């Protein structure tokens, strides 16, 4: 079963910021899809079982803030 999680991201300045976050999210084996939108400052993640906190941590480890 898939869950969709939407996070607000702080600190993205350009397209490569968004790509960096997207790649970090996609590197998680439990992520089916990740769409990071620079203009909207958000990420939409399709995942099997992980929760919001898990992805906030990934984004923070990449150097940005998320909520």
Residues that bind Cu ion (CB under 5 A): 13-14, 16-17
**Nearest-approach distance from CB 41 to Cu ion, in angstroms:** 13
CB of 6 to Cu ion, least distance (A): 21
In this complex, which beta carbon is closest to Cu ion, that of residue 6 or of residue 16? 16
Nearer to Cu ion, 1 or 14 (CB): 14
Residue 4 tokens read as 């969709």
Quick one: which of 15, 17, 16 has its CA closest to 59? Answer: 17
Least Cα distance to 59 among 4, 12, 13, 16 occurs for 12
């Amino acid at each position: 079963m898939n869950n969709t999680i939407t996070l607000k991201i702080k600190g993205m300045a350009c397209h490569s910021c968004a790509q960096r976050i997207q790649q970090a999210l996609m590197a998680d084996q439990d992520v089916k899809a990740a769409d990071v939108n620079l203009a909207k400052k958000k990420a939409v993640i399709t995942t099997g079982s992980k929760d919001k906190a898990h992805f906030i941590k990934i984004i923070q480890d990449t150097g940005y803030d998320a909520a």
